[in-house]
Structure 1
């Protein structure tokens, strides 16, 4: 079993409320948490309106599958979230 940790920091310019922040994040937990190989949580910046940090823990049978899932998550975030990706870090455990 191979495990990867993907952490993504997002900027949400112009966000005025926590409700708007939740709407702009577009249900990341529900969307990515459906996959049994992925665990997801908002890992920092809970109360900040203009930023959000999310961590995805990915488990797979090979490092290549872990990297592939992390790439898919990162690509989908860039396409669907109403914000800017500021930083991405990956760690293979």
Structure 2
């Protein structure tokens, strides 16, 4: 069973507190964690106000499905999150 690991690094210019950071990131865990084939967590930059890193682990029956799900996650985040995507890393296991 293929596994995809998608890690996104965000910049949050002008963000002044952890509370504002949570609001601007817009509940990524709640939105994407509902899907049984996706696990999501804030994986880095947890104590910084102006940056964040999130990792999504996607499992599916084929590599094509994993790649498609990763693309959908990335596109939805770019449309809905009030932050700049600075780096995207994809790894397939």
TM range (shorter): over 0.9
Figure out how many residues of one structure are paired with residues of the other and give that number: 93
Tell me the SS of whatever aligns to 2:57: strand
Residue 10 of structure 2 corresponds to: 10
| Residue of structure 2 in register with 1:28 after alignment | 28
Deviation at 1:74, TM superposition (A): 0.2
The gaps in structure 1 that reach 5 residues or longer are none
Structure 1 Cα separation of the partners of residues 53 and 17 of structure 2: 16
Deviations 1:18-67 (A, max 9, x none): 00000000000000000000000000000000000000000000000000
CA distance in 2, matches of 1:48, 1:68: 31
How well do the aligned residues superpose, as a CA RMSD in angstroms? 0.3
Counterpart in 2 of 1:70? 70
Q: Any runs of at least 4 consecutive aligned residues in structure 1 with deviations exceeding 6 A, and if so which?
A: none
